[in-house]
Structure 1
Amino acid sequence: MRNRVSLSNRLKKVASYLPENANFADIGSDHAYLAAYVCQNDPNAKAIAGEVNVGPLNSAKDTINEYGLENQIEVRLGDGLEVIRPGEVNQIVIAGMGGSLITSILNKQKNISLEVDRMILQPNVDAKELREWLDDQNYMLIMEEIIEEQGHIYEILVAEKCNSHQSPYSDLEKEKQLYFGPYLLQDRNDAFMKKWGGERDKLTRVVEQMKQARQMDRDKIDQFINELDWMQEVLNNEKNNMETR
């Protein structure tokens, strides 16, 4: 009997948003561990593991051979979504990259990215940029999670294609919701509070340094101060809620 695929909690959470009988592509598959985990636990699932470099590609092939998943997973070499043919998959997973890079990958092959039913995206940074892109492209954000693992904090965004434009954002609070995440802002779990406490402290230091510069970028400083006000409001609201319980 073959061993079970071992996966980090972060990637298990990402995998949990794939439906049964998934037919998906994992872009930047990191040895194809996620694809192997999903397909080992669901014999009807199919996956394409995309890699841009030969070294990780060969590692992904080794993983698939080790777990005997050659009939369910195909490894392909290529840049981003170039490894997928139109209509070939129903879901796309991109995890462990910056939000700007993920947005660039999705933009580069819109004939692929804008036809799938579901995207599961795990940006390491710049999640706001991804939320804006999804909203602009008529993909509705249906779920978000934020988790901490081994000292790192990760956000997971799940979006589905909409026939008519819908939005989880309110008109009055949209900019703030794009910044923090509409679902994360509602939940405000420990990982969320830890992230934004840290971001507040870092941005405070940046603003102080900018104010000491010979030529101050006043517009940028004003933008950062506005973001700091948002962060402080979020953190104060949680503190107030704790005190009234």
Structure 2
Amino acid sequence: MNADKLSDRLNAVANNIPNGARLADIGSDHAYLPCYMVNKGMIPMAIAGEIAEGPFQSALEQVQEESLTNLITVRKGDGLEVIAPGEVDCITIAGMGGSLISSILEKGKSKLVGVRRLVLQPNVASFAVRRWLIDNGWELLNEEILKEDRKIYEILVAEKGEPLKPYKGIDLESGMQFGPILLREKSDVFMEKWKAERRNWQRILIQLDGATQNEETEIKKKELKKKLKMAEEAFQ
């Protein structure tokens, strides 16, 4: 992967960025995504944000190597603190856990003024991102699931709108867990992911059955049984 050829995961993210958008890529790493988008003429400018010194320097070097310093600004900072309100209209956050993505969005809510689209790729806990979107008035427009290098990724695309609209006709909790759009499509990759998760939940439940029984154990068992029931209903 480089600035000329993205991974399948980042290519899926790129395909959901509107042409002409002013982009902020948070946790940009090597800044491959913004460099690719600008080089292809898909967007006029971008901000690449990084909190750690190493990735920040990598992004800076990549932008300089691509001779894009006049179009891509690399900034060091925590989450959305690298942008000003109204500075961008599309934000991408990819390759982090869902809880961290939700935390970044929550802490930076004041910076979302003028932002029209969020393209989010949580590595785990995508339900946390969906919950944040619902709580803050963002509507899921698209969800994708793909497998690359034996890992499965989800991409969530949202704009301000009716947050519960994609969940109509399905159980809200199941929708947040599995993804309302993905749940309707039930692709082969979707089934592979959640059947593996179901096996993991079953294994943990067996371990808990053999463990010392206390209130905490019972709560965990109840949660797992609830997830297993939702999975069975999702597979139908």
TM-score (norm 1): 0.90
Checking the alignment, whether the CA contact within 8 Å between 1:135 and 1:167 is kept in structure 2 is: no
1:175 aligns with 2:173: yes
- C-alpha separation in 1, matches of 2:170 and 2:155: 24
1:52 aligns with 2:54: no
Match of 1:224 in 2: 224
- Counterparts of residues 151-162 of structure 1 (less than 5 Å): 151-162=150-161
Checking the alignment, whether the CA contact within 8 Å between 1:25 and 1:50 is kept in structure 2 is: yes
Q: Which amino acid aligns with 1:231?
A: A
Checking the alignment, whether the CA contact within 8 Å between 2:26 and 2:93 is kept in structure 1 is: yes
Checking the alignment, whether the CA contact within 8 Å between 1:114 and 1:137 is kept in structure 2 is: no
**202-211 or 56-65, which deviates more:** 56-65
Offset of 1:54 from its aligned partner? 1.9
- Counterparts of residues 1-245 of structure 1 (less than 5 Å): 5-42=4-41, 44-113=43-112, 115-162=114-161, 167-170=165-168, 173-216=171-214, 217-235=217-235, 237=236
- C-alpha separation in 2, matches of 1:204 and 1:56: 38
Q: Which amino acid aligns with 2:84?
A: R
Offset of 1:149 from its aligned partner? 0.2
Match of 1:242 in 2: none
- C-alpha separation in 1, matches of 2:94 and 2:163: 26
Residues 43 and 15 of structure 1: CA distance in aligned 2, closer, same or farther (over 3 Å)? closer
TM-score (norm 2): 0.94
Identity of paired residues, percent?
46
Checking the alignment, whether the CA contact within 8 Å between 2:133 and 2:163 is kept in structure 1 is: no
Checking the alignment, whether the CA contact within 8 Å between 2:3 and 2:35 is kept in structure 1 is: no
- C-alpha separation in 2, matches of 1:221 and 1:44: 48
- C-alpha separation in 2, matches of 1:224 and 1:232: 12
Deviation >6 Å, runs of 4+: none
Match of 1:241 in 2: none
Residues 55 and 153 of structure 1: CA distance in aligned 2, closer, same or farther (over 3 Å)? same
Checking the alignment, whether the CA contact within 8 Å between 2:201 and 2:228 is kept in structure 1 is: yes
Checking the alignment, whether the CA contact within 8 Å between 2:142 and 2:156 is kept in structure 1 is: yes
- C-alpha separation in 2, matches of 1:148 and 1:4: 21
- C-alpha separation in 2, matches of 1:233 and 1:168: 18
Offset of 1:230 from its aligned partner? 1.7
Checking the alignment, whether the CA contact within 8 Å between 1:141 and 1:159 is kept in structure 2 is: yes
**17-26 or 113-122, which deviates more:** 113-122
Offset of 1:114 from its aligned partner? 5.5
- C-alpha separation in 2, matches of 1:176 and 1:203: 16
- C-alpha separation in 2, matches of 1:182 and 1:138: 16
Offset of 1:220 from its aligned partner? 2.3
- C-alpha separation in 1, matches of 2:47 and 2:137: 25
Structure 2 gap ranges (5+): none
Structure 1 gap ranges (5+): 238-245
Give CA-to-partner distance per residue, 1:58-83, whole Å, 9 cap, x none: 11111112222122110001111010
Give CA-to-partner distance per residue, 1:197-238, whole Å, 9 cap, x none: 100000001011111111242232122112112212333x2x
